[in-house]
């Protein structure tokens, strides 16, 4: 018997698949998810599977903007080439740059839909898991102690984190389609990335912003470090993009 999360793929109508290339304005890339979530919540747009990249930035949560020296930290990091962008979902700061693939699944949920938060996370991770398995990698779910944006639905390779996840729910306005809320489930996949360096920038933000928390740079890795060292720059990211859409097609068929 299939797990309940598979119904998220098969019972939604007319999934729109969006394969976006590099966005040079990170705040626009993040705002796009929020705008799409509003449109799905109101019944104006069908469910979306979106894969995208952005130029270098540090994406933080609303909670982290309340750190005592947030404004100072954001100004310093912007001068150092890491503009700080605020996202609407939970977790902790994450570094983004070309070579890190972002996956957004946005879909409506009706009162009769049985999906739990865990089902949503499982659905988000499944195309990533299948894509990584297609290139010969064994992937496990689980927390990665010491990592930033940690959670039970990290994807790990050999105990090292390659994917972090988050989600946001938006209550729907009154509508004729019976939509109760819309779901935004987000994941970031470190394909061609220096995982230790990225953690270092998250730690620098926390230090500058006046928060004592620090993360372990040795508990994450990238797909490149696992299998890609004989590939040309950008080749592995392109390969994983295609693998994600191939996996998604199988899940919705």
Q: What is the CATH number of the domain that holds 192?
A: 3.30.930.10
pLDDT for 230: 84
Examine residue 223 and state whether it is found in any structural domain, yes or no.
yes
Beta strand 16-23 with 48-54 is: parallel
Examine residue 81 and state whether it is found in any structural domain, yes or no.
yes
pLDDT at 10 over 60: yes
Question: Are the beta carbons of 199 and 217 closer than 8 angstroms?
Answer: yes
Examine residue 18 and state whether it is found in any structural domain, yes or no.
yes
SS3 52: strand
Residue range(s) defining the domain that contains residue 242: 6-252
Examine residue 167 and state whether it is found in any structural domain, yes or no.
yes
Examine residue 100 and state whether it is found in any structural domain, yes or no.
yes
- pLDDT tens, 35-72? 999 999 999 999 999 999 999 999 999 999 999 999 99
> Phi, psi at residue 202, to the nearest 5°?
-60, -45
- What total of structural domains would you count in the chain? 1
**pLDDT bucket at 77, cuts 50 / 70 / 90:** very high
Examine residue 196 and state whether it is found in any structural domain, yes or no.
yes
Examine residue 1 and state whether it is found in any structural domain, yes or no.
no
Mean pLDDT, rounded, of the chain: 95
pLDDT at 155 over 90: yes
Write b or e for each residue in 10-43: b if 16 or more Cβ atoms lie within 10 A of its Cβ, otherwise e: eebeebeeeeeeebeebeebbebbbebbbebbbb
pLDDT for 229: 77
pLDDT for 26: 95
């Amino acid at each position: 018997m299939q797990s309940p999360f598979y119904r998220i793929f098969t019972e939604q109508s007319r999934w729109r698949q969006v394969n976006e290339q590099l966005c040079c304005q990170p705040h626009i890339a993040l705002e796009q998810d929020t705008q799409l979530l509003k449109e799905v919540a109101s019944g104006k747009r069908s469910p979306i599977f979106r894969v995208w990249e952005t130029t270098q930035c540090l994406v933080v949560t609303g909670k982290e903007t309340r750190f005592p020296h947030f404004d100072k930290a954001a100004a310093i990091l912007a001068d150092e080439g890491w503009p700080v962008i605020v996202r609407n979902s939970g977790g902790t700061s994450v570094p983004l740059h070309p070579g890190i693939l972002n996956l957004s699944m946005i879909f409506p949920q009706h009162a009769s839909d049985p999906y739990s938060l865990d089902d949503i996370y499982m659905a988000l991770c499944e195309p990533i898991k299948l894509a990584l398995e297609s290139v010969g990698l064994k992937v496990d779910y689980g927390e990665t102690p010491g990592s930033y944006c940690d959670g039970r639905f990290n994807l790990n390779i050999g105990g090292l984190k390659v994917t972090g996840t988050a989600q946001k729910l938006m209550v729907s306005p009154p509508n004729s389609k019976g939509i109760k809320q819309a779901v935004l489930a987000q994941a970031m996949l470190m394909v061609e990335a220096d995982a230790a360096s990225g953690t270092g920038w998250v730690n620098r933000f926390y230090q500058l912003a006046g928060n004592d928390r620090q993360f372990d740079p040795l508990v994450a890795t990238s797909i490149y470090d696992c299998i890609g060292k004989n590939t040309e720059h950008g080749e592995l990211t392109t390969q994983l993009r295609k693998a994600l859409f191939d996996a998604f097609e199988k899940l919705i068929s």
